[in-house]
Each structure stands twice: as C-alpha cells, then as structure tokens.
Structure 1
C-alpha cells in the first residue's frame, strides 16, 4: 500500500518552521538569561537598577542598529542564509562570554556584541518564513517563529534551566552552557535552509509598491509601516521593562524566594507560548487591527498585576491570562509589514520596524525606568510598562487591515 505523498513545499515549510522556531527561541533564551541571573550576579558585584536597565538597553540598541543594517543588506544582496548562520554562531559565543566578566563594564561590552549578532536573526528568519508559508498559515507560522518559540525557550525553559544551573554550578556556568545549542543550530541551518523554497517563494499580497528600489524611503511612505514603528516603540517598552525588572521586583520588593520568582517567570513563558501562536492565528480569522486592539487592552493589565497581586499562585494565573502582548509582536513586527510592502523590500521593512522599536523602546525605556526606579521604587517600572501598552491601543486604531481572509470577506460583501 502506498502512503500519502507529502508535497515537497509543505514538507520544507514544516522543516523550516522547526529550524527557525528553535533558532529564534534560543535568541531569547540567551537574551533573557541576564534578567534571571541578576539577583545572583549582584552577590558577586553590585548592580544598581539603572545599571541593570542599561545592560538591557545596550543590547536593544545594538540589536536595533544590526536589524536595520542586516535587513537592508540582505535585500540588496538577495541572500539571507549566510547572514542567519553568522548571527546564530556569534550570539551564542557572546552570550557565553558574559560568564567571563567581572564587573558592569565587561557585561556591558558582552551584551552590546550579543545584540549586534541577535539583531540580524529576526528579519532573516521571518523573511524566509513568509516566503515558504502557504497564505492560510502565514500568521500562524510567523507567530510560532517569533512568539511561541521565544516563549517556550526564553520564557519557560530559561528561568528554570538558568536558575537551577546557577544555583548548583554558579551563574557563570549558566552563561557558558548557552553556546552549545547555538552552534548545533548553525550547522542545521547550513544543511537544511534554502534561499528560495521548493516551487518558488509564496509572496504575500501587498498594497504598496517601491518602484523597484530597495531603500527606506518607499517603505516609509506606507501608513501601516509608520504606525508599526510607533507601536514597536511602545510595545518594546512594555515588554523590555517587564522582563528586565520583574525578577528583581519579585525578589527584592515582594520578598519571594528565587524558586518562587522562577516559577512566576515560567508563567510568563507559558503565556508567551500560548498567545504567541493563538493571537496571530486568531488574527487570520478576525483581522490584524481588531486583534491588536483587543489583546493589547488585556496586556496592559499584566504589569499592574505584578504590583497589586500579592499571592504567588494567583499572580501566576493572572500572568498566564493577561500576558497576551507577545502574540501581537508577530503582527506589528512581521505579518502586517509583510502584507503591506513588496516582497523585495520585506527584510528592509522588518528590520526598520524592529530596529526603531528596539532603539527607543528597548534601549531608552529600560534605562529611564531603571533610573526612575532607583529614585521612586520599582513599581514605577511596572506603571511605565502599562502606559506603553495603553499607547499601543490608541495607535492600533489607525492600522489598515491586511489579513487576506478579512479582506476577501469585505470584497465579497461589496460585490453582493
């Protein structure tokens, strides 16, 4: 009996999804490690809240600049695979190098170099994924690559593996071990990923045109791209501030043990995984704009719960329900831009949105939040995060709908 024949394009789509899922997931495993290890690092040498915010901020700064350059460069060269391989190798090496540092300055340099490498991963990964995705799976695939992967590896595995390793072997060893999965993934990418998927690229329908030029100017004429850049600034503020200061808030302000803190941070990861694919999947059905508005309203509640909910189990449950924003990241950083600009400008658009968001929301916001927290208490950081989400809700009302199914329904209603 002959088994069912799997379409080569579908087989490659699924394999690419797995490779990119793990690759971007380990980006966030490495990025999150510092926040979870901060209470233990402080036992070796002092780190103020402002310095902790600066360590997150400098990574976001170099991540932003790298994303801007790498996205445009890959569009000009027409090659993404070599850039992706180099980025995965280098971010693993620089993450491990953090374990060698003996003070704030050394950590600052290591985190800056790590951001240079990591910033190139998302534009490369999502531009490869969107071209290999069937239209009805586009939002789901991109959500799994960007949202659920980071949640599973950076949100669930990282706080458990990193904290347990640090408690038994020291925080430096926890950093050293991060190099292993990155090197293995780089080899897998080199062996399995193609520049063009079998059967050719499945480019999304777009509403814009760049006149054949690969530059920033035509991309910046698109209203959706400008709004996505502003949303990225506000949403990165929400995310980076929460993930940078919540572990310290839970241990130093609420007095939770490292184990309890790790458990609650794992709840963030559970929510990240769930909403990371559910939110983009839902947006395929009800629309990108409506999904952004509804799920961001819920996300604004999350940092407030960290401040006002005292019971750990209840706080963990509320986090799972309200940490919905990471699912929206896929929409404004990848799916909406991919459905707005021509395919030849895709990596440029993704790098631009991510770069501006990381530059302002990822770099400036945690530094300011850390400075304010040193003066008025760490609850200021959580209120800052909630304010960022509130601004996203207002900006999302201006988005033009891009979901293919929703646009098709509208067109059918017009013709009836």
Structure 2
C-alpha cells in the first residue's frame, strides 16, 4: 500500500526540481545559441575589417559545426561511460563563454577560424548533457514540451530575438568586437548555477543501476529510428545553418535593407523560433512525433523561398513567423524520439551521434557548399539549397516509427 503522506511531497519536490532544471538549462542552451548566432549578425560589420567572402563566412560557420559535432559525439559517449553529466556540462559552459569572447580579439580570418573552432568544441557537449538531464527529470506528459522549451524556444529567444537586437546595437553603438566580449558574462553565471542547483540524478530518474549496463554503439546504430534521425539531422542542419548564416547578408546586400530593417526581420525568425520551439513538441505529445515532423517540415520548406521572392520587409517578417517551423522539429529528431527509442545507458551516446553526424554533414559541409555556390551564382543559391534540405526531410520522416507514449497507448487500446 502506498504511503500517500510521503508520495505527495516527493511528487511535489520532483515537480519543483523539474521546473528549476528547465529554467537553468533553458538559459544555458539559449546563451549557447546567442554566441553561435552572433557571427551571422555581426558579419556585415566585420566585413569592413576583414572583407569576408561568402565562402569564408560559410567556412566560419562550418568549422564551428565540425568541432561541435566531434565534441558532441565524444562527450555523449564519455558521459555514458562515466555515468556523469553535470561536471562535463559545467566545463563546457565555462569554455564556450571564454572562446566566444576571444573572437573579438582576432585580427584576421585565420584567427577567427581558430576561435570559432574552439568555441564549437566546447558548445558541442552542452546539448547531449542538457537533454539527458532534462528527459530524466520530466513527467511523461511534459517530455516533448520540456525538451522543446530547452532546445527550441531557448535558442529562439536568446539566439533569435535577443541576439540580433543586442549584438547589432552593440556593433552600432560601440564596435563589433565589444559584442563578442560581453558574451563571456552570462555563460559564467550559468555555469555557477548549474554547479549549485543541478543534480547528477533527477528524482524521476530510474532507480535501477541501468548505467552499469554498457550499450555498444553498433547496437544503437542498428535501431531504425536512430539512423533515420541521423539522415534528418543532416538535411535539417543544412536548412538551418544556411538560413542563419546567409540571410542577414542576403537582406542587406541583395534586398538593400538597412541594418535596422535586417535586424527586425531576423527578430521575426526568433519569434517563430520561440513559438514553434515549444508548440511543435507539445503538439507532437498529442498527435504523434511523425505527423508533427511531416507537417511542420513542409511549412519549413517555404521559409528560405520567402526570403528570395518576398520584397516587403513587413510581409517577409510575417511569413518568417509562419514558416520558420523547423527549430521546433529539431527537438523531436535530436532528443525526444531518440530518448523514447534507446535505453538510458545509451541516451547521451544516441543524442551525441545524431547531433554530431547532422552537424558534420549539414552544419559543416552545408554552409561551405552554400557559400561556394553563392559566390558562383549569387546568394539565391544558398536559399534554394536550404529549401532542398527541408524537402528531403519530409521524405525521410515517413520512415520513422512512432514513439509518442500517448499515441502508442491509444493505438494499443484500439
């Protein structure tokens, strides 16, 4: 017989910890994307000093994605081997803050390349650790919603809304280097909060010693959902990184928008990022992961096409809010579906591999190819490449097996 006098307080304590963890990790990953996005918004200002070509701009984004990918795969595997996540997360947050600020010290393309590579090395470990901690602390009914807030809305709020406003203002008021320097402060604050308030094991984590059971990587890669999520990650990262890398330059150079107008349109992307970042996973909790991915990705195909064909900044901003739905989907294929597919002992490994492979193909190669194509045929080429990436995702989604608990229960009952 259950002792309700202790069960209720335990449940309330678990709920409070779930909320506290969500807030801390929300801000931590949000500042990761604040730092990552800063380069795209500052590119027009840096061009005065460095004269960056489209290919060089794509390379700067690509090298960060490369080291992000390698670090994510290594950190995920290391975490599962050690059974520890918190220390890795704290070190990663401290280092990415330091390396982000160092970009402001560089005097040329080569120095920027090194700084971005080091920054990606630190940032790559953050998401697998954060999502692994969050999935264990979440109630089943809020799993998709929590992970969507953590990965999607946080990056949208701080990377998509706050970043263009703050870094453009700092560049206009002071200098683009100052914008990089200020990124060190929030990261160090978040590292201290993680160290003080985050637990290694959440109250809702399984009490069995599952972490002692080592799951070979080959066994993880034999799961169909994991392989399909890797393919989706490659194409969706191409869509995402290409858009965030080249849209600010497209708006200022091709459409002739002034920096303020460009910043306003990019802020609309951030609004959509926040909105769909939690709405898409929450909807998937009810209708299923697979149909949510298919529907919202079909909308995402239209986003880069709107950048090319819509001239009015007001209409373009409105369309950005409606069609920039992909970041809500990221949580599903990078975290939620893998978490519902693999055992806990392989969770960080699975998240790291999916993120790593996606960043290598879509985040590293994607923007470099898009940059080269833009130098050859104009910046429109980059937008068309982004649209093609999202279109390929729609096809891959049909190969997924449904994992949403509520949907599976309804099917079993039927």
Q: TM-score, normalised by structure 1?
A: 0.96
More divergent stretch after superposition (154-163 vs 5-14): 5-14
Contact persistence 1:76–1:214 (CA under 8 A): no
- Could you tell me how far 1:214 is from its partner in structure 2? 2.9
Please list, as runs of the form range in 1=range in 2, the aligned pairs for 1:13-412 lying within 5 A after superposition: 13-198=18-203, 200-201=205-206, 212-412=213-413
For 1:106 and 1:155, how far apart are their aligned partners in 2? 26
For 1:147 and 1:79, how far apart are their aligned partners in 2? 24
- Could you tell me how far 1:216 is from its partner in structure 2? 1.2
- Could you tell me how far 1:213 is from its partner in structure 2? 2.7
For 2:257 and 2:400, how far apart are their aligned partners in 1? 41
- Matched positions, count: 405
Distance 1:36 1:218, change over 3 A: same
Contact persistence 1:71–1:347 (CA under 8 A): yes
Alpha-carbon displacement from aligned partner over 1:117-160 (angstroms, at most 9, x marks no partner): 00000000000000000000000000000000000000000000
For 1:170 and 1:74, how far apart are their aligned partners in 2? 39
For 1:176 and 1:14, how far apart are their aligned partners in 2? 31
More divergent stretch after superposition (25-34 vs 194-203): 194-203
Alpha-carbon displacement from aligned partner over 1:228-280 (angstroms, at most 9, x marks no partner): 00000000000000000000000000000000000000000000000000000
Contact persistence 2:156–2:274 (CA under 8 A): yes
Contact persistence 1:369–1:380 (CA under 8 A): yes
For 2:134 and 2:249, how far apart are their aligned partners in 1? 36
- Could you tell me how far 1:296 is from its partner in structure 2? 0.3
Equivalent residue for 2:3? none
Contact persistence 1:72–1:214 (CA under 8 A): no
For 1:172 and 1:149, how far apart are their aligned partners in 2? 24
More divergent stretch after superposition (396-405 vs 4-13): 4-13
Contact persistence 2:306–2:319 (CA under 8 A): yes
For 1:19 and 1:350, how far apart are their aligned partners in 2? 20
For 2:137 and 2:34, how far apart are their aligned partners in 1? 25
Distance 1:157 1:201, change over 3 A: farther
For 2:266 and 2:19, how far apart are their aligned partners in 1? 30
Q: TM-score, normalised by structure 2?
A: 0.96
Unaligned runs of at least 5 residues, structure 2 = 1-7
- Could you tell me how far 1:199 is from its partner in structure 2? 5.1
For 1:74 and 1:383, how far apart are their aligned partners in 2? 38
Q: After the TM superposition, which parts of structure 1 deviate over 3 Å for at least 4 consecutive aligned residues? A: 199-203, 209-212
- Could you tell me how far 1:202 is from its partner in structure 2? 8.6
Distance 1:199 1:35, change over 3 A: closer
For 2:172 and 2:297, how far apart are their aligned partners in 1? 36
